[in-house]
Structure 1
Amino acid sequence: MILGVALAQPATTTVSAVVAVRDGALLGVVSGAEPWEARAPSPGMADYLRRARAVCVAVDLDTVRPAPVAAIRVAGSCPPALRPLAGWPKGSGLATIVRGGHTLTGRQLARLDTAAVRRFAAGAGLTDFAVTASGSPVLADHELAVAEIIAAEVPGARITLSYEFGRAGLREREDDAIMNAALGPEAGRVADEVARAFPGLPLFFARSGDGLVASHYFRRYPLVCYAGATASEARGLAAMASLVPLPAPPEADTAERSQGAGPLRGPAEDAAARVQGLVADAVGWSRQEAGIAAEERPLDGLGFARGAARRGDGARGELVAPAAAFGAALAGPTAEVERIVQARGRAELDRVLDSARDEALARVVSAGAAPGSARIASTTVNPLSYLPDGLYRLRVTAEGATP
């Protein structure tokens, strides 16, 4: 059994819904925005807590307070408007540019200015660092060297390296690294508080797209979970819609349908039945909005969400938190590897692909997948235009199951 948990916004450590899920079925729901430690779970939910094998958390990080970041760019000089942190809010941190970096073909632009890195790290007065070197998606040597210097100068520093995010553009990759570093302290706080609320259970956090990551991965790469609740809500609503293939009769009462949903053992199961009844109603409303007859085709999740969103009676509000928790509980650990590589010929490209696939499998196990369950879900290879032949962007996605 898996517990799905939706955290409220903006108080990201307040639980707004907990659902119990087994084999894709919604067994119980506990709703209410109050600290979980203060709650006295129903006997049914207390039993779920004892039987749960993992907790999957849906949270958005867009409302947390970002920490100031020390940003280091390893590249050539640039105009002030293009410097690191240019355009970021005041108080976002401080930044420097040091000599070094590579081209996308792996040619070194300049030797790394290690002395400048050491001076900046020692004088920054911060513990969250973001390092971006030109050419690092192809060759990350200078980013790794900078990280070693920072670790020696600032014991306990949290360091984000841009090559781990894989984007080709230096500014885009740099912004990702800075944002990841800025979210780190708050992500750690959220993970700590959820761990205290659900002691002894493995914790997973929903990614912004598909899948989950383990708690330690969430602490290290919080950016991948930036919109975890939003993504989980969409997935949960889609799954809820698929559970109701036929629209409910307009005159049917939600409570009457709930009574026919099977034996109810307590408030958690009662709430689950109510959510299922609301879903049945919402599917009917959404079919009317989309003009879909029952015999034509099933309602997709997007159509369901659109129809439910147009209701003005607050029913969708009752669905949002359980849907986010349900969507998180349905997901599995996922990890991605994105790289820019140079390969001269098919044989070399195949070797690079094998290496990227191995890395993706290792990452998904690190993200919490049971080792025997890890598999490659997708592989994308695209040649880069307007650059020398033999340059490709690789994207490999691996999936697995929770232990």
Structure 2
Amino acid sequence: MKINKELNRVVITGLGALTPIGNNVDDFWKSLINGVSGSANITKFDTTHFKTKFACELKGINAQDFFERNEARKYDPFTQYALIAVEEAVKNANINFETLNRNRIGVIWGSGNGGIQTFQEQVSEFAKGNGTPRFNPYFIPKMIVDIASGVISIKYGLRGPNFTTVSACASSNTAIIDAFNYIRWGKADMIITGGSEAPINETSIGGFNASKALSTYNEDPAKASRPFDINRDGFVMGEGAGALVLESYEHAIKRNAPILGEVVGGGMAADAYHLTGTHPEGEGAYLGILEALAEANLQPHEIDYLNVHATSTPMGDASELKSVERVFGFNSGMNISATKSMTGHLLGGAGAVEAIACIMATIHDIVPPTINTVQIEPELEGKFNLTLGEAQKRTVNYAMSNTFGFGGHIATSVFKKFVE
């Protein structure tokens, strides 16, 4: 099939969210702008011997409400979360796949860990036995990272580009950027994208505790995620999924789709510095932001809202703001907020959920707050508008989202308010 030589305009026509502060987009958004924390004591396993005893778990979600029993047992929770979020996005986008060319519709999904819950369960069962390898026949397809994108395509019969991006905590932002590129290059008419993660289990909490990345503020879990605060001590684990339907403007107009916004730029780079730590000067973040701005054909002053990666780690928050200073300067008039202070860190799913926050900000002209930050670093005082404590109303024409991953992976995307 002939590929278009001119770049297509890429619009967003559907959103789906399954988060620790809301099980759909509307509830998620209401919680965001009201500053609701999703962090509480872990209920999924006994945390008696763990340094961290809390996380941002999903609430009120039962797989049996969405899947038949035999179907649910085939999917790890990260795939279940993906399917639930995608179903909302598809409904909101008013898609009737029977009327569309499904050879031109793809799925590009992101996840950092894939079926880590399944992996833990199966290895634990083997360790309890007498050495006889008795594994569930669904072990491998439940565990592999790319299975969510495959299952989504199977459910809807989508035969276009299909793969999963893995760039740790930048995974779903990377997926969105790849989906954006495939559509603007003319290689697909529509792509379902986003990301999911289900990491709240003994393996993940224990592993991140060992690397000293998680907060241990067990006294008050709801206030543990506190980006930029002088007393921040690590991130809070989150789980869930975010889904976006992207398509070419022409394709969306032809099927009379609701258009929620546009993707106008994406920048990817690398810190090339450390296994788990960010570059002290935010070198990769600086390059990613510049690339995203250049691709969107924007000047720094045109960004109204920046959703920062800001996980609430001592070094990570500081280095990111150094990159922001290099690009945007101080007191730029841009709002900055760290929504992980409410959702926790969804790892590979973070970029998708935060992209939804950015898109909703452009729709409603409201910037969600950064909560829990009581005393910011002295050197930051008065230099950035961190939207502390309360949401702020303002015109948001352009919103930018940063995500960074272990290994130095950088992904930055830019979203635009939709104007005919």
TM norm structure 2: 0.23
By percentage of residues, which structure has more helix?
1
**Larger-Rg structure:** 1
Normalized against structure 1, the TM-score is what? 0.24
